[in-house]
């Protein structure tokens, strides 16, 4: 699906923040189900349909509070990143030191150390109140110069949170353990031949699993314009799998292949 698909219909960004208390229920909420169900995702203030990607945009957290067999409220709030605060004419929230950039909190929301945290990888998580208002970014007592990855893992036997961070300089990866109270407990530097994007990770009873993925971040790569070809998939034969590794070191998604080819194979723009 193209960028326009994720800006229309049920995918369209929500234009306002809402607090609703008189909620209609279809069926029944189990009386023993108590707590808050939260989710976060991109909700851009403005986006260009021809360039938008579904994972980009200002973070918005949605929540439902369940208690006594009924929903007590639904609400949605933009995470108050610097961009969101400026758009909403709101005061900036405090930012602790760390992360490549402020982030938007649009990728994952979780609880640890008595805090609700929304995060985009490469940045520090934003702490939210129980009513989803943004408090500040948190570095767990840091330093966390590269922030954390989007999907930390939790050890149920110790209550510790395990996270990875990655960046452009050595060490390429750092592995952090956050104690149950939310304080940085330990950091291990991991040397790799090149920086690697670590969106996720794994955790077992005795091992932490680092994914050595083919997506390699780099400052030079970020400044380059992807070379052709951009091959649409609507017509003609398929010449590449929907997902796969290619020596061109660019992405392959369901609609088009984006490859950086050697100079002799590049296609000139008309």
**Mean pLDDT in the chain?**
82
β-pair partners for 76 = 62
| Structural domain boundaries, residue 245 | 225-270
Same domain, yes or no, for 170 and 235? no
Closest C-alpha among 258, 261, 251 to residue 232: 258
- Under a CB-based contact definition with an 8 Å cutoff, are residues 58 and 41 in contact? no
Query: What residues pair up with 137 in beta bridges, in sequence order?
Result: 126
- Check whether residue 29 and residue 148 sit in a common domain: yes
Asked if 120 and 240 sit in the same domain, the reply is: no
95 in a labelled binding site: no
Does residue 179 sit in the same domain as residue 241? no
Instruction: Answer yes or no: do 143 and 269 share one domain.
Output: no
User: For position 53, what pLDDT does the model report?
Assistant: 85
Asked whether residue 162 is marked as a ligand-binding residue, the answer is no
Do 59 and 113 fall into the same domain? Answer: yes
Domain boundary among 173, 197, 216: 216
Number of domains in the chain: 2
Q: Do 105 and 238 share a domain, yes or no?
A: no
pLDDT above 70 (res 231)? no
Task: Tell if the pTM clears 0.85, that is, is over it.
Answer: no
Whether the predicted pLDDT of 104 surpasses 60: yes
Between the alpha carbon of residue 220 and those of residues 224, 226, 261, the distances in Å are 7, 12, 16
Give the contacts of 117 (CB within 8 A, at least 6 positions apart). 109, 110, 111, 125, 126, 127, 128, 138
CA dist list (Å): 228 to 221, 231, 257, 262: 15, 8, 9, 11
For residue 1, the model assigns a pLDDT of 57
pLDDT (tens digit per residue) in 46-58:
888 888 888 889 9
For residues 18 and 137, state if they share a domain. yes
- pLDDT tens readout for residues 163-213: 999 887 777 889 999 999 999 999 999 887 777 888 899 999 888 988 877
| Interval 132-147: pLDDT, tens | 999 999 999 988 999 9
Would you say 128 and 138 are in contact if contact means Cβ atoms under 8 Å apart? no
């Amino acid at each position: 699906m193209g960028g326009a698909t994720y800006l229309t219909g049920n995918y369209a960004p929500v234009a306002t923040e809402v607090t609703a208390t008189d909620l209609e229920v279809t069926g029944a909420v189990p009386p023993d189900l108590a707590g808050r169900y939260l989710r976060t995702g991109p909700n851009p203030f403005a986006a260009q349909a021809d360039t938008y990607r579904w994972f980009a945009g200002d973070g918005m957290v949605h929540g439902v509070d369940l208690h006594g067999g009924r929903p007590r409220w639904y609400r949605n709030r933009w995470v108050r990143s610097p961009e969101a605060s400026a758009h909403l004419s709101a005061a900036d929230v405090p930012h602790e030191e760390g992360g490549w950039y402020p982030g938007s909190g649009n990728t994952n929301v979780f609880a640890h150390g008595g805090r609700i945290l929304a995060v985009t990888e490469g940045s520090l998580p934003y702490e939210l109140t129980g009513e989803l208002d943004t408090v500040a970014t948190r570095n767990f007592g840091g330093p966390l110069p590269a922030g954390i990855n989007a999907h930390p893992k939790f050890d149920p036997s110790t209550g510790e949170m395990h996270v990875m961070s990655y960046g452009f300089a050595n060490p390429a990866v750092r592995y952090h353990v956050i104690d149950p109270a939310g304080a940085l407990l330990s950091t291990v530097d991991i040397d790799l031949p090149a920086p690697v994007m670590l969106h996720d990770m794994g955790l077992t009873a005795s091992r932490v699993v680092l994914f050595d993925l083919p997506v390699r971040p780099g400052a030079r790569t970020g400044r380059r314009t992807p070379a052709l070809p951009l091959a649409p998939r609507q017509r003609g034969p398929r010449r590449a799998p929907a997902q796969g590794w290619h020596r061109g070191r660019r992405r392959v998604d369901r609609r088009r292949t984006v490859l950086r080819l050697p100079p002799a194979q590049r296609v000139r723009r008309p």
